[in-house]
Amino acid sequence: MEYRNKLVLAPMVRVGTLPLRLLAAEYGADITYGEEIIDHKMVKCERRVNENIGCTDFVEKGTETVVFRTCLQERNQVVFQVGTSDAVRALNAAQLVCKDVAAIDVNMGCPRSFSISGGMGAALLRKPELIADILTTLRRNLDIPVTCKIRLLKCPQDTVELARRIEKTGISAVAVHGRKVADRPRDPAKWNEIADIVAALSIPVIANGDVFEYGDFERIKVATGATSVMAARGALWNASIFSPVGKLDWEDVKRQYIRKSILWDNDVKSTKHTLREMIMHYSCLELPEGKDLIKSETLADIVRLYGEEKYYQFVNENRTMLNGGHREGKFMVAPEI
């Protein structure tokens, strides 16, 4: 995995599942992060080859709950992000999935109370020794790159010092969200503080924050000196943000996302959540589309809502052909319907 001069899909809870990752990659994302998976949950999983869909699933033992789904097509660009507060447990989780992903990332920036109360996410920013233990343990025991994603600390110099300690662990890159833990999404990202980190490190820094148009990739590069840029909400609202020819109409992107969700049998809760976020940005959940989406209980309900019955039927009738291509690492698509 090369981390310089890359456009990156950020890790997003309940959003960064296989359909959005593949969609972002088709539009131009070089690296795609999966949603954060907590190590406690991952170590309870077993790896299964899903012959029906042509993918690899990590399923919670004793259940049919898919915790993480990937496929051969994204093998060289997908990053598995783990939420952890323990080096050994992080390693156990990473070793389970490391042969099916391109890299492992440790979440050190999530400000949610669930993560912080468990000593994970942004809580790690106050524990540099634990950070070093986790990253060093992963790097020494894995054959794939290890990275982490952090937020800014209250004092810019403290962030720089932490980034320097992180670099000494030997990891391949660090992603920096240009906001502090207490900042809200509406607060502007502090690109100037990311620039301080870029200047202090020799490893690649992936700049993250306030990227909503393709042109923003170049603007944040110029402002920070980072050669790689990560997009979160901008990519969620319209994954074609990664396309150098400009964003496509969001209705078209939404349709392609729904088709990817059908093709890969995406979890209905994840599909609904992603569509809700798209609708709330471009429209309103109080309109008929939003209300009907909220009422949807199955993927089949969503198929009917968006008039994708023919595509749904085609996929189900041609699983053998489609899955054969999936297992060979090909992007198999249905003809225009």
Strand partners, 50: 55
Give the torsion through C-alpha atoms of 149, 182, 163, 189, to 10 deg: 80
Quote the tokens at residue 4.
């310089």
Provide the token pair at 76: 């060289």
CA-to-CA separations, 266 to 21, 207, 251, 303, 328, in angstroms, rounded: 12, 29, 19, 12, 20
Contact in structure between 176 and 207 (CB atoms under 8 Å): yes
Residues at the binding site for FMN are: 11-13, 81, 149, 177, 232-233
C-beta neighbour count of 211 within 10 angstroms: 24
> What is the phi/psi pair of residue 8, to 5°?
-130, 135
204 Rama class: left (phi>0) / alpha (psi -120 to 50) / beta = beta
Decide if 67 contacts 42 (C-beta within 8 A): yes
- Output the known binding site: 11-13, 81, 149, 177, 232-233
Compute CA distances 236 → 59, 89, 211, 254, whole Å.
Answer: 25, 30, 11, 10
Residues β-bridged to residue 83: 38
Catalytic residue among 45, 110, 155, 284: 110
d(CA 113, CA 119): 10
Collapsed DSSP state (helix, strand, coil) of residue 255 = helix
Tokens encoding 274 = 């992603």
DSSP sequence for 260-294: HHHHTT--HHHHHHHHHHHHHHHS-TTSHHHHHHH
Active site (annotated) includes residue 110: yes
Q: Which residues are catalytic?
A: 110
